[in-house]
A and B are shown apart, each in its own frame.
Chain A
Amino acid sequence: MPDDAVTAQKSQGGEVPLESLQDPHFLQNLRQQMVKFARLQLRDEDLAEDAVQEALAGALKNADSFARQSALRTWVFSILKYKIADALRHRQRVIASSELGDDEHREQAFMDALFKTNGHWHKAERPTSWSGPQGGVQSEHFWRVFDACLNGLPEKQARVFMMREFIELESEEICSQLDLTTSNLYVILYRARMRLRKCLESSWFSPDERKTLRKEGRK
């Protein structure tokens, strides 16, 4: 139980960090984010719940060293990443590793729809310039769109992309964990990025959306 941690001593920062752990709203919120995060990667309700539970328990043991909620959040997520990597490692043996995983035929069709036979973009598919997604317009709504786009990735692409970009594993590590060749890894990441950017562009960065985005930014 977290009670021990909650009644533990104060932080070095002199603030009142442990309040946050007694704040049911904060904890509930954090937990929800973690479950969502774990579920996306593990695609298994039970495994996700387990990983979150373990990560939270581990984090609460050290909770006294956190001065702020945001620091605690960062810490908890870094532990969760380890738990997820661990769970993936175990599950890897269960997943039949067909060379590139996801339906090769469907993937080819997806690419063919983007490029002409001469290898250049179809006009309608040509990426356009995104305005300012890095500049603090990452609203709640944007993250919902991002979430939906991630969920739209074929399973293997989603897993590899998240290992690379969320857990920030190096290529070699992903290859050995998932038993992939380097060139397969590159192809999978390429496809994942292609799908993600297309999804984001059409559901968020399309010219119409951009107008509303600018308006929001002005508020």
Chain B
Amino acid sequence: MMDCKKATRLASESQERKLKTGEKLELKLHLAICSGCRNFAHQVGILRGLARDYARGEEKAPPQDQPQDAGKSSPEE
């Protein structure tokens, strides 16, 4: 069976790439029986959310506050 080292590696990589079917299956099987890795897999997603909130100035702007055209025009100029 897949060990925790491998399982956490895959859980992390799933944030960057689509796992192959075999990898996904093996990971799923491992997570079903391992609470530590299950928590880890959940936490990598939480980390992503936290990092993005943090990067946005530690405050979530309500969606209607988005500046018009901000996404389209280049902020470079």
A contact residues vs B (CB 8 Å cutoff): 12, 30, 33, 37, 58-59, 62, 65-68, 70-75, 77-79, 81-82, 111, 115, 118-121, 125-130, 133-134, 138, 143, 146, 161-162, 164-168, 171, 185-186, 189-190, 193-194, 196-197, 200
Q: Are B66 and A128 in contact (CB under 8 A)?
A: no
Write the chain B residue with the least CB distance to A37. Answer: B55
**What secondary structure prevails in chain A residues at the interface with B?**
helix
Q: Are B75 and A82 in contact (CB under 8 A)?
A: yes
**What secondary structure prevails in chain B residues at the interface with A?**
helix
User: Smallest Cβ distance from B74 to chain A, in angstroms?
Assistant: 9
B contact residues vs A (CB 8 Å cutoff): 3-6, 8-9, 12-13, 15-17, 34-37, 39-40, 42-44, 46-59, 61-62, 65-70, 75-77
A-B contact pairs, 20 of them (CB 8 A): A62-B67, A66-B67, A67-B65, A77-B55, A115-B5, A121-B37, A125-B36, A126-B35, A130-B43, A133-B50, A134-B50, A143-B58, A146-B50, A162-B51, A166-B52, A185-B16, A186-B13, A189-B15, A197-B43, A200-B47
Q: Are B52 and A73 in contact (CB under 8 A)?
A: no
